[in-house]
Amino acid sequence: MQKYAVIVAGGKGLRMGAALPKQFLLLKGLPILMHTLRAFYDADSTTKIILVLPEDHFDYWWQLCGENRFSVPFTIVAGGASRFQSVLNGLNEIDTDGVVAIHDGVRPLVSKEIIDKSFDVAASKGSAVVAVPCKDSLRVKAGDFTKSVLRSDYYLIQTPQTFRVDAIKKSFAVEELSSFTDDASVYEFSGGRIELIDGDYKNIKITTQEDIIFAEAMISH
Amino acid sequence: MQKYAVIVAGGKGLRMGAALPKQFLLLKGLPILMHTLRAFYDADSTTKIILVLPEDHFDYWWQLCGENRFSVPFTIVAGGASRFQSVLNGLNEIDTDGVVAIHDGVRPLVSKEIIDKSFDVAASKGSAVVAVPCKDSLRVKAGDFTKSVLRSDYYLIQTPQTFRVDAIKKSFAVEELSSFTDDASVYEFSGGRIELIDGDYKNIKITTQEDIIFAEAMISH
């Protein structure tokens, strides 16, 4: 079954004075996004990789590819106004059956084990969403205050979130809702059932300076 | 107002062949638990520190204190069969009014800013519980499957969890319930209102090998 990976790299524009979007920050000397693409390529080099990037990042990205002699093959697609729209643009590039892993561009530490299992489980069960148990206590908003909820009932959701191509394309053929916080919630809205698979705590989304420090340390070990 | 810190270090026994409990693992050459005690002492040396440790760890702890010439003053109390019982044993050591910060022994990276603010807010509002927004999507168990929930409604709860002494002692004068996942849930059960204050993502609970790597990296920066 043909494998696809839609790598979504959002982030703000590249205006003068703005901070560099996280996906371009260096991790061990290489932009984070290149680590992410390489993880999918190294897991299985026949996977077709679709990179979704804001159009005004294209020039900078190609410049980085040249500077780093980046040789992983990919198709590049312009992002949309929201994550939902960006994923949709990526899915529209796919023109065969198969399974597609949708993955955050800023999760460079995803392992081969997780990638392989995601494709396997999605092929057999329709979906595979990477999750880890919540280690901290949780509270939920309740009016002006918050109340505690039972941590053991909750999972923290990571990516990849992997689906059969036909089913996830049908799921994305809807009006975007504000309750679509990830691809699993879109799939679920159209009646799909989500299969969770074990992630690992290393597979972090890089969103803060601490995350970069963590990622550098993990790569060194 | 007198400040107290109840530092709770649970973890399994020290049987032959068992892994060393996390609180004794070395962080930059010093047991994690010593970093934690020192954080409270360095924030305000007049804070009375109460260390709750399983009784069968006492000998090893004192040996570590000698080897490391550990000079932070503390009172040591035997832990109970559960976190609730351990905290209760710690609270029973307090015999004056004041505010008490209850803190995980394996959160060594807590900052002076968070400690100071915890005591200040608890003194004025009755409680101060450290929380951070949830960065990952969340799913909750629903029968045999799970369903997505709105991440922005949830907070990940850290420690310290800080309260006025008289109020938290009253809260702990109940039968233990399985829904008591932290001290905030105990306080809330007795009718107390929880005030959240901003934590930071650095203030992690060390529970996995990756966490040690992260903590070492953070201390180096």
Q: What is the pLDDT of residues B34-77, one digit of tens each?
A: 999 999 999 999 999 999 999 999 999 999 999 999 999 999 99
Domain that holds residue A87: 3-220
Average confidence score pLDDT of chain B: 93
pLDDT at position A11 is 65
CATH number of the domain encompassing residue B191: 3.90.550.10
H, E, C per residue of chain B:
CCEEEEEECCCCCCCCCCCCCHHHCEECCEEHHHHHHHHHHHHCCCCEEEEEECHHHHHHHHHHHHHCCCCCCCEEEECCCCHHHHHHHHHCCCCCCCEEEEEECCCCCCCHHHHHHHHHHHHHHCEEEEEEECCCEEEEEECCEEEEECHHHEEEEEEEEEEEHHHHHHHCCCCCCCCCCCHHHHHHHCCCCCCEEECCCCCCCCCCHHHHHHHHHHHHC
pLDDT in tens, B113-150: 999 999 999 999 999 999 999 988 999 999 889 999 99
Q: Please tell me the total count of domains within chain A.
A: 1
Q: How far is A120 from chain B (nearest CA, A)?
A: 19
ipTM of the complex: 0.89
Residues 167-196, chain B: which have Cβ within 8 Å of A? 179, 181-182, 184-185, 188, 193-194, 196
Ordered per-residue pLDDT tens for chain A, 221 residues: 999 999 999 766 555 556 788 899 999 999 999 999 999 999 999 999 999 999 999 999 999 999 999 999 999 999 999 999 999 999 999 999 999 999 999 999 999 999 999 999 999 999 999 999 998 899 999 988 999 999 899 999 999 999 999 999 999 999 999 889 899 999 999 999 999 999 998 999 998 888 888 899 888 76
Task: Give yes or no for B221 touching A (CB within 8 A).
Answer: yes
